[in-house]
Structure 1
Amino acid sequence: MLAKAWVTFVHPPLGDEAYYWLWGQRPDWSYFDHPPLHAWLLGVVSALGWSLFSLRALAWATLLGTLWVFWLWAKRLSPENPGSWWWPTVALYLASPLYFAMTTIVFHDHLLIFLVVATAHCLLVFAEKFEAGHRDFRWLYAAGVVLGLSVLTKYNGALLGLGMALFFLVHKPVRAVLRTPHPYLAALVGMAMQAPVLWWNLNEGFASYTFHISERWGGEIPLDPNPNGLSRYFVQALLWVSPFVFPAIFGLIRKPLGAPFADRARVLALCIFGISTLTTTVLSLFVEVYFYWNIVAYPLLMPLLAGKMRRIWVWALHLLYGLTIAALLTVSTVIPVSTLNGRSDWTLASTFGWPEVAARVEALKGEHQIGFVAATGYQIAAEVGYAMRDPDVVTISPRHDQYDYWFRPEAHVGEDALIVADTRFGVDYISQFFEELVLLEEVPYERFGYLIYTPSIYLGRGFRIPADD
């Protein structure tokens, strides 16, 4: 927890964190990359001001919510002494690098994780009551609502819904509910909650769906298998979840825990784990699958694995592994570990030095008559906009992103602009949009004698729209 607090209050925003924060400053029905719920909530917490605390406050709120649900499970898994089950669950969960990282930074995943465990809890309470002869469908509809919120957070929340459907089919004691209209009505409630996303896409030519189905893969649906992608995916899963929990997962698959709530939760957790893992595994054969795409697969397993991992040495290795990764991430809040090794990790390095860049941009705005500030990539634009507290900073890039829906090029023809670029996202593409592009200065960021990151500021004279753009 100390490492999480340090990262929260010290590490500058990652590019995507700043990007999503700026979404919250521009409320809309939905957004290009993701559904809108997370952005809406960031817009609400921005009332606390622009600070690292307000930026990451939501991650702490959803973490506490997740741990509270784990407590409710611990009271059912170990009624006589819930603390003896809950504390190992918390340790197991937070020592997984995947969940340490994704419950600290404010990507959409922290909210999705909480909604996954909250949905599962509502469904398990319903199943518990149904098996006892009580037809209390309110918990089933609550599960449908929270499921709807999870898909309104991130599209892979739909994998949770598929896992729930499989649960009704394979868990005999609740199979009879499929002969009633209630599970279908609850599913319709969750689907109806996607109306804002559908409305936005109807008005924007189904841009989000096109992006995720084809555009992000080069404009077409990939059909050629790539075995290397599968191996990379498995290695990433092993390292990010922790190699020391997978034997316990296999043990949970082979054998129930032997208590009613535990075995009911086991079936649900394995249904969701199976659907999500199978889907992402198949995808990895054709496209690059990031480790966190399968994030819905594991959180429900954590409270159950706490009762499966019996060997002290396995616990010790898992905790040591998690603490080591947490320590490396903590060091990277001051200087990227890769920099100390003589290599450059752009994702981490590009988070440093933006207050200095923002100060120079503000000073240069006073020296030049400019119409707008732009950047050559969406992460750069987000970092500049966040540091300047200016949601009007835009990007001009060949990559389709949310800024395309905020920036109206025709309104800026003839204007001069300040352009922020770096060595990864240079000015080759953006240069065609100006009569002249002049390098004004570089703003290198150094720490402990190491050069970490060097963004550049250009003056673009005479903005124009290329004929073929």
Structure 2
Amino acid sequence: MNFKSPPSIVTLIIISGTLFRIALDGVIGLGVDESYVVSIARNFSLSYFDHPPLHFWIIWLTNHITGSENGLVLRLPFIGMFAAITWMMYRLGSKLFGEWAGVYAALLLNVSAVFSLSTGSWILPDGPLMFLMMAATLVLARLFFEPTANSSWELWLAAGLLIGLGMLAKYHAVFLIFGSLLFMLTTKECRGMLLTLGPYLAVGVAAIVFLPVILWNQEHHWISFLFQSGRGVAKGFYPLKMLGNIAGQAVWVLPWIWVPLVWVLLKAIFAGPGDPRRNPLQNRQWFLCCLASGPITLFTAATLWGAQGLFHWQAPGYLLAMPLLGRAVVGWAERDNGIIRRWLTASITIFLLIIVVLGSHTATGWMRQVQPHWFESGDPTTEALDWKSLPTYLTEQGLFDSKAQFVVAAHWIDAGKLDYALGGRFPILCLSNEPHHFAFLHKPADFRGKDALIIGRKAIIEQVIPLYRSYFDDIQFVGMIPVTRAGIPEFDLVVFYAKNFSGTFSMPYGQ
């Protein structure tokens, strides 16, 4: 293999990145969202409360094929999808701007935290979403920039299928439709496509593929759409919140990548569409701007009026802007290769250092022993602990063989952690105002007259026990279980035994 050729370099990036993620995921437990997904995915459904169904379906299928709920096993499909994303990033950059632009885009993608970690291996909708968005973007690039392809019904059908599947992963994929429409409206050479059947055929196919989400929501009072749209409700004017959100985006992408990425994206936006006879690459830049700007602009601007804004919501936009940075790096390297080489080396080195430090701490908690005052307000990495001591404790106490027929959790996060730790041995009833999809798995009335185990983090359970006493004839304390990391206790779970559930708890979401 010629390790100086672009395909060989990208292959090396993919292999080394894949092995790195497998090693990391083998020692780190599932996060709260991941545990929740694994738990909910045991029950196949057309769609789900939080998100469209694709990543749940992937976990359901992986579990049925392998018979395992081991965290690494369940993460493997997501690791594999990111390997494909890396290759498609190289292909997109190569198609639009040349092979080395593709190489740099693929490399920078792999040393950006939000992509290499969250998208790269976690059991979240982002991996399937970005896999399908990249595949759809490659098809759209052919339609828009290959004269012999723009009338191909097969390619329009493929674009619609991929966008529809992307929408089954996460609603963000709809930005590909709006971005493509913007590109066709603003680009003279492609405007005529709007007078052909192809784009409408693609939208129709995407809508048909998206039907499972529509059907499920129709049966459940449109709750998923109401939940997600509710996060964007205007609450006032909060410029500092928007600045904080922008800072969070920079941290997730990593500032030394985010700053040049935003710079080249803004530069290309202000350049706008152009005459391909004068600058054949300008419309290709504009194409990426149209696809990338939607999620970045909308989800950043929404925080200005107080809407919830998680830092990774803009990531699909940054993903599609990455070839612009790859192209810019090629130009910068031609002017001063020494500076660019040092920047790339530093980006790789610092990224690996950050991951090794945080990954080893997540696995062992060593930083709490070295600098305990850093964690006086809590340690977020404890959310990646798998509560493995819980089933052992319940076995020792004979509670698996008791009259208890279900487990009560006080929050969807704890419900997911409990259900994953217990391997589905008990039905989980999340008696909470925020049960998420647990509200659709079981009805409280189904457990009328039955005994339960109430389990959760000590601070949470102590708050809800007074409330729960009105729904059970008797609640007795059983014991506490330390959740440990590398043999060191991190926090306590508490267990109560509750007799004769009334079955009258009022669940939210119209259930």
Query: Do Structure 1 and Structure 2 share a fold, with TM-score over 0.5?
Result: yes
Gaps of 5+ in 1: none
Q: Quote the Cα distance in structure 2 between the aligned partners of 1:346 and 1:207.
A: 33
Deviation for aligned residue 1:27: 0.8
Deviation for aligned residue 1:377: 1.9
Indicate the residue corresponding to 1:276 in structure 2: 295
Q: Quote the Cα distance in structure 2 between the aligned partners of 1:161 and 1:336.
A: 45
Q: Quote the Cα distance in structure 2 between the aligned partners of 1:414 and 1:352.
A: 34
Deviation for aligned residue 1:148: 0.8
Question: Structure 1 stretch 153-162 or stretch 104-113: which is displaced more?
Answer: 153-162
Describe the SS at the equivalent of 2:479: strand
Indicate the residue corresponding to 1:108 in structure 2: 125
State yes or no: 1:151 paired with 2:167. Answer: yes
**Aligned partner of 2:157 among 130, 141, 145:** 141
Q: Quote the Cα distance in structure 1 between the aligned partners of 2:47 and 2:343.
A: 44
State yes or no: 1:58 paired with 2:77. Answer: yes
Q: Quote the Cα distance in structure 2 between the aligned partners of 1:308 and 1:399.
A: 46
Indicate the residue corresponding to 2:260 in structure 1: 247
Q: Quote the Cα distance in structure 1 between the aligned partners of 2:506 and 2:157.
A: 51
**Aligned partner of 2:432 among 381, 393, 397:** 397
**Aligned partner of 1:301 among 313, 321, 340:** 321
Match for 2:497: what amino acid? L
Indicate the residue corresponding to 2:10 in structure 1: none
Match for 1:112: what amino acid? L
Cα 1:124–1:357 change in 2 (3 A) is same
Deviation for aligned residue 1:264: 4.4
Deviation for aligned residue 1:17: 0.8
| 1:147–1:190 Cα contact (<8 Å) kept | yes
Describe the SS at the equivalent of 1:291: coil
Indicate the residue corresponding to 1:225 in structure 2: 237
Please give the residue correspondences for 1:111-190 in structure 2 after superposition, counting only pairs within 5 Å: 111-130=128-147, 135-190=151-206
Deviation for aligned residue 1:242: 1.8
Describe the SS at the equivalent of 2:249: helix
Indicate the residue corresponding to 2:383 in structure 1: 350
Describe the SS at the equivalent of 1:390: coil
Deviation for aligned residue 1:418: 1.1
Deviation for aligned residue 1:356: 1.0
Cα 1:348–1:394 change in 2 (3 A) is farther
Question: Structure 1 stretch 326-335 or stretch 234-243: which is displaced more?
Answer: 326-335
State yes or no: 1:463 paired with 2:498. Answer: no
TM-score, structure 1 as length reference: 0.90
| 2:90–2:102 Cα contact (<8 Å) kept | yes
Indicate the residue corresponding to 1:191 in structure 2: 207
Question: Structure 1 stretch 140-149 or stretch 296-305: which is displaced more?
Answer: 296-305
Deviations 1:63-116 (CA, angstroms, capped at 9, x unpaired): 12212212323543576xx4x444433321111111122112111111111111
**Aligned partner of 2:88 among 69, 74, 98:** 69
Indicate the residue corresponding to 1:383 in structure 2: 417
Q: Quote the Cα distance in structure 2 between the aligned partners of 1:262 and 1:451.
A: 58
Please list every run of at least 4 consecutive aligned residues from structure 1 whose deviation after the TM superposition is greater than 6 angstroms. Answer: 256-261
Question: Structure 1 stretch 145-154 or stretch 166-175: which is displaced more?
Answer: 166-175
Indicate the residue corresponding to 2:450 in structure 1: 415
Cα 1:337–1:86 change in 2 (3 A) is farther
Match for 1:385: what amino acid? D
Indicate the residue corresponding to 1:365 in structure 2: 399
State yes or no: 1:323 paired with 2:336. Answer: no
Q: Quote the Cα distance in structure 1 between the aligned partners of 2:209 and 2:168.
A: 7
Cα 1:299–1:121 change in 2 (3 A) is same
Deviation for aligned residue 1:230: 0.3
| 1:8–1:53 Cα contact (<8 Å) kept | yes
Match for 2:322: what amino acid? M
Indicate the residue corresponding to 2:341 in structure 1: 312
Please give the residue correspondences for 1:251-262 in structure 2 after superposition, counting only pairs within 5 Å: 251-254=264-267
Match for 1:325: what amino acid? I
Match for 1:251: what amino acid? V
Indicate the residue corresponding to 2:250 in structure 1: 238
Q: Quote the Cα distance in structure 1 between the aligned partners of 2:422 and 2:505.
A: 32
Q: Quote the Cα distance in structure 2 between the aligned partners of 1:386 and 1:416.
A: 21
Gaps of 5+ in 2: 1-16, 333-339
Q: Quote the Cα distance in structure 2 between the aligned partners of 1:134 and 1:109.
A: 29
Indicate the residue corresponding to 1:208 in structure 2: 224
Indicate the residue corresponding to 1:266 in structure 2: 285
| 1:113–1:295 Cα contact (<8 Å) kept | no
| 2:385–2:485 Cα contact (<8 Å) kept | no
| 2:53–2:169 Cα contact (<8 Å) kept | yes
Deviations 1:372-399 (CA, angstroms, capped at 9, x unpaired): 1232222222222222221733322221
Please give the residue correspondences for 1:69-108 in structure 2 after superposition, counting only pairs within 5 Å: 69-76=88-95, 82=99, 84-102=100-118, 103-108=120-125
Cα 1:345–1:191 change in 2 (3 A) is farther
Question: Structure 1 stretch 375-384 or stretch 33-42: which is displaced more?
Answer: 375-384
Aligned identity (percent) is: 21
Deviation for aligned residue 1:304: 3.1
Deviation for aligned residue 1:416: 1.3
Match for 1:239: what amino acid? V
Cα 1:283–1:129 change in 2 (3 A) is same
Greater helix content: 2
Aligned length: 461
State yes or no: 1:8 paired with 2:51. Answer: no
Q: Quote the Cα distance in structure 2 between the aligned partners of 1:317 and 1:451.
A: 37
Cα 1:58–1:261 change in 2 (3 A) is farther
Match for 2:358: what amino acid? L
| 2:412–2:438 Cα contact (<8 Å) kept | yes
| 2:444–2:504 Cα contact (<8 Å) kept | no
Match for 1:298: what amino acid? Y
| 2:163–2:173 Cα contact (<8 Å) kept | yes
